[in-house]
Structure 1
């Protein structure tokens, strides 16, 4: 009984480690390198090298190679490259994927980012049997988690990584023993589109909660930003203001500078407390170190 693992990033690393710990033979690992704007703390090649598993790159993921390897199952975790659809029919137990949403909601790209940006109260991760659609295959198992109002994308990813390992531990042995129960997805669902760094630009005319969710939902490597003195000012950390005071000003205006180093910026319907910022590639600092005048407009 052998499988092929296709994946990347921390989530792929942790899931591959669990597969190895389960005593399941892994015949090959296919992975890729991070994009220029990404930073991965770990990747699947670490586990592959530790366990002497052959490593291949995306251009080597061909139907002919997979047929020659003849795996019983292929497990896909954290892999966003396109691979030939003909591969789906090669393994005895199919190609099994993990997707970081509660399918059929948020099929496609950046599901965790979109969940926070959209203000969803809940998300999770789904294990499913891949077909020729976009995350439309039969569901094998799911894990749910709440999205707390102070949770960032980094916080949420840590939770999802743990839940992914739980799914692998519970369901991979069932799949390769032929005991997994699968359920059809509804045809209709929602879809997340790809995100690029420019999508993180803040519109201060938006409602406070929308801006706050954007800041929480953006990756550290392409953080939410505003333009200040013709440069990108990244908003690294923010908080909702709990008091009931009303502030009148122009959206984007620095409305108040606080003793704790934070500043209040006027939004479309109130204010948002900005705690930490960084200008361009400079180090993160208290917001008032840069936004130090109420005459400033963003």
Structure 2
């Protein structure tokens, strides 16, 4: 099939690679313009662009995909299908009408749950036990189109967003091939999404800060949900500290005086982790990163900072 591919981050690369290796004719790859990245603000190409150029695929980077110039270009490529994976721009009705097989999106959730920009993050943040990948026939709305195929995947209580992200990217690559084959064979019937849906908005700085008044499990979900990006943070001695790894204590540790129930109180070092009081339950913190420093294990943090009795996160 003659395909135009649209995608930007590393999540989209496995799908593009699968289409390329399966022998589909990829007439063009559209990705976001190169942007400054990292501490030095060096201009960096997207992972999709890097893969496309390494494999001799034509790359296009319009600032606005809805512009008349971009639409004219798309029409000239004569795609039978446009495959979209985390592209980062909405398509116009004019673009949606170009390919005979439509525009197909690979979305990292079980629609209609978690429409929007950060479905993997929010599934973990909310403590979901299952997520997956859905292919859908795009319409003018945000992730509102008819569903084609879906595949689910369990989320363990310790899984991070990064771990899940990699698994779902590979699943999405497999599913888009299956979807295209099914459409060509006439074996897939688009299914309207149910009316009830949830939304996965972009993450903000407010989402990143830990509230120690929460239940230990909520904080644990926040930490793993923001790992590896952007990271959950708190404050210690007035400076920001990111927390990368944690677990929930199976039982209370025996500290039960009122003073020791202060949310954020660092109770002590227990089994190689910092035991921290939350609004309900004890959280073990295993890996931290003070501002401007490398990640460190809890014992190194405890000893390096010479923690004193009664010190608090937050």
TM-score (norm 2): 0.88
The answer to whether 1:130 aligns with 2:108 is no
8 Å contact kept, 1:37–1:222:
no
The answer to whether 1:239 aligns with 2:250 is no
**Cα distance, 1:214–1:9 mapped onto 2, change above 3 Å:** same
Using the alignment, how far apart are the partners of 1:195 and 1:37 within structure 2? 19
**Cα distance, 1:67–1:282 mapped onto 2, change above 3 Å:** same
2:309 is aligned to 294
TM-score (norm 1): 0.92
1:3 is aligned to 3
2:26 is aligned to 26
1:69 is aligned to 77
Q: How does 1:42-57 map to 2 (within 5 A)?
A: 43-57=47-61
8 Å contact kept, 2:35–2:45:
no
Using the alignment, how far apart are the partners of 1:247 and 1:87 within structure 2? 62
Which of 103, 110, 131 is residue 111 of structure 2 equivalent to?
A: 103
8 Å contact kept, 1:246–1:270:
no
Using the alignment, how far apart are the partners of 2:106 and 2:171 within structure 1? 11
Using the alignment, how far apart are the partners of 2:250 and 2:36 within structure 1? 38
2:293 is aligned to 282
Cα deviation digits, residues 146-204 of structure 1 (max 9, x gap): 11001111111121112112202211223345543221111231111110234110000
Using the alignment, how far apart are the partners of 1:141 and 1:23 within structure 2? 21
8 Å contact kept, 1:10–1:41:
no
Instruction: Count residues in correspondence.
Output: 296
**Cα distance, 1:35–1:255 mapped onto 2, change above 3 Å:** farther
The answer to whether 1:268 aligns with 2:272 is no
8 Å contact kept, 1:27–1:54:
yes
SS of structure 2 residue aligned to 1:6: strand
Offset, 1:10: 2.3
8 Å contact kept, 1:197–1:223:
no
SS of structure 2 residue aligned to 1:290: helix
Q: Which runs of 5+ in 2 are unaligned?
A: none
Using the alignment, how far apart are the partners of 1:239 and 1:189 within structure 2? 30
